[in-house]
Amino acid sequence: MSTHVLESSSQAPTPKKNGRVGGGLLDPKQMIRSLPDALKKLNPATMWRNPVMFIVEIGAVFTTVLAIIDPSWFAWAIVVWLWMTVVFANLAEAVAEGRGKAQAATLRAAKRDSTARRLKSRDDHAQWDVIGAAELQQGDYVIVEAGEIIPGDGDVIDGIASVDESAITGESAPVIRESGGDRSAVTGGTKVLSDRIIVQITQKPGESFVDRMIALVEGANRQKTPNEIALNILLAALTIIFLVATATMQPLAIYSKEINPGVPDSLALTGDGVTGIVLVSLIVCLIPTTIGALLSAIGIAGMDRLVQRNVLAMSGRAVEAAGDVSTLLLDKTGTITLGNRQASEFVPVPGVSEHELAQAAQLSSLADETPEGRSIVVYAKQAYGLRERQPGELSHAEWVPFTAQTRMSGVNIAPDSGASGGDGREVRKGAATAVMKWVRDAGGHPTDEVGHLVDGISASGGTPLVVAEKGRVLGVIHLKDVVKDGMRERFDEMRRMGIRTVMITGDNPLTAKAIADEAGVDDFLAEATPEDKLALIRKEQEGGRLVAMTGDGTNDAPALAQSDVGVAMSTGTSAAKEAGNMVDLDSNPTKLIEIVEIGKQLLITRGALTTFSIANDIAKYFAIIPAMFAAVYPGLDALNIMRLASPQSATLSAVIFNALIIIALIPLALRGVMYRPSSASKLLSRNLYVYGLGGIVVPFLGIKLIDLLIQFLPGMS
């Protein structure tokens, strides 16, 4: 198997937090900073996007007019708390957005004004002109040396350099970017620390990676997800139902007064029926204002939690889809295994010496810059005393690069090259099936011993690379890999969540099965080509399942685009990042598991607070109505279990509670409900017990406590 496929992803360093985004639940200073933004959101042009809170704002305006016409202490108290309800709802969203603006500020600092040395010709590195970075066009070539800022997004087409990406990822350790392979992408605003690279610009003006990140983390491009839209429709329907129900209070009050003329007038029940201020108060208390106020903040906070983990979601839909994922496609190397396969043994076939095999293996790996290729060269030098040669020493050598179709690489050496032991040779190394087919096509006859050697190494969990010279097989290279600690436990956890895990690898089926059994994944796809990955994703989706996968190479782009949640590595190619709907700035393939957990937490939080809000409204209905009408209909007094002081205090207590509960729940909306891997039925039961029952009990306690505090105020009797 070629080492290029096997290194489709690599182990990334543990992400470090750099303080760019606050991790606290609810910083009072942050609330104060967000208050001006909350006030700006009172603009009706903004509020109408949230139908529930738009109704509350209309009610606040209406009661303000009524209070001006017929002022009273009670009327103005209601007005103040209705406006506070609207402001608190806007504050929830403003605080959630403010947490992302801290990230945006740092990104803007990285996107400083800079110049670029644009090459006049790709091949002539001596001819260049200096222009502003903003003037770069897609397809331009720029030269960047140590100490310079990379002026735009692109791919390294020549050279290798150490790059400081801390302004983007927050990781202080420099990374290597080089031409070819899957670590060629560079981001504008990062700094070259050593050497020199030639970069081909892939961005369009104003559409750089940093530009998109700033827009996303600030919420400028945030669109409602399908689930949010569906929930908004439900909330709007409930609002209409409660509007109709509340409208019946007016004729009911008039009728009640007529049949019970001895009942004394009150602010709640007058000779003309229920006052407009009380009607508005009832509407605001009974419609689902709690979830209406927090819904947007929940979605923004979900994306913010990803940002805190250095994952950029290109849309809220992607975060939401992560919560519904039922199939995870994971690369073996760097995700399930450590990814640092090293050559550990050269196993020759009968009739071939170990020294001859070592020489051929080293020769075929001289131009292989992957860790595995380098390890073969080093192992041949250390174990067999072969000097470490450079590709440039073979002047007439034709290096055969790896491709996903051939699944092998090597070298063709002309007879007059002067290479020791290599005159006129054609050497290949790679997947067993591909190399043996190459041998047969050249007229050779691979022996059965090759198959036994390959099967033995594969069965042990190792990776066999067959080495052959034109017409004959020389032997097998044994590469070893190690499953990461704790992976079996993580996959058991995924299983409890109802998620099926599939390992994707370029290894042969025996090797894949050995690693899959050790890691504990549910299934595996061996000898995977880009077409195989795409076919597997489509097959899963046809069964009604949502699929998530990671990738970093250009050959991963089709699968990333097809998957419901495609996580591209920041170190990957521009094509991969364009195809995915998330980008992992730490380039840690195991982050996919965390992304799924965050998505599920988002859905659970939304469901929990919706349950609480609806239960809350039902409880407020039974708390307020009996207190208001018990004097007219004595039978309702049995339902007035809280014994509120008066209809006026009951109304004002409910309005105050309705506003304060929004503030009380903002930390939960931002942090998210704690997620524990469990089945859907258990999660539903927990939500109903904790948030359904809590939504019924809390209003009774809260309204009664407020009633005790305000019952002696003017106008409450």
Pairing between β-strand 154-164 and β-strand 426-430 as defined by DSSP bridges = unpaired
d(CA 602, CA 596): 10
Helix (DSSP H) and strand (DSSP E) numbers for the chain: 25, 21
For residue 409, say whether it is annotated as part of any ligand binding site. yes
Cβ neighbour number for residue 665 with a 10 Å cutoff = 22
The residue to which tokens 């640092």 are assigned: 340
For residue 354, say whether it is annotated as part of any ligand binding site. no
**284-315 burial, b if ≥16 CB within 10 A, otherwise e?**
bbbbbbbbbbbbbbbbbbbbbbbbbbbbbbbb
Tokens of 436: 């043996």
User: 527: left (phi > 0), else alpha (psi -120 to 50), else beta?
Assistant: left
d(CA 89, CA 473): 72
The C-alpha angle 626, 630, 636, rounded to 5 degrees, equals: 60
For residue 571, say whether it is annotated as part of any ligand binding site. no
For residue 523, say whether it is annotated as part of any ligand binding site. no
For residue 406, say whether it is annotated as part of any ligand binding site. yes
Nearest to 571 by CA among 555, 586, 581, 561: 586
For residue 177, say whether it is annotated as part of any ligand binding site. no
Q: Which residue among 182, 331, 507, 564 is the active-site one?
A: 331
For residue 372, say whether it is annotated as part of any ligand binding site. yes
Is there a catalytic annotation at residue 517?
no
For residue 403, say whether it is annotated as part of any ligand binding site. yes
Nearest to 379 by CA among 359, 352, 402, 401: 359
Cβ atoms 302, 316 nearer than 8 A: yes
For residue 402, say whether it is annotated as part of any ligand binding site. yes
Tokens of 638: 């049995």
How far are the Cα atoms of 122, 133, 134, 214 from residue 205, in angstroms, in the given order?
20, 9, 7, 15
SS3 sequence of 120-163: CCCCCCCCEEEEEHHHCCCCCEEEEECCCECCCCEEEEEEEEEE
Nearest to 477 by CA among 443, 450, 502: 450
For residue 405, say whether it is annotated as part of any ligand binding site. yes
For residue 441, say whether it is annotated as part of any ligand binding site. no
Residues forming the active site:
331
- Binding-site members for Mg(2+) are 552, 556
Q: Which residues are annotated as a binding site for ATP?
A: 368, 372, 402-409, 429
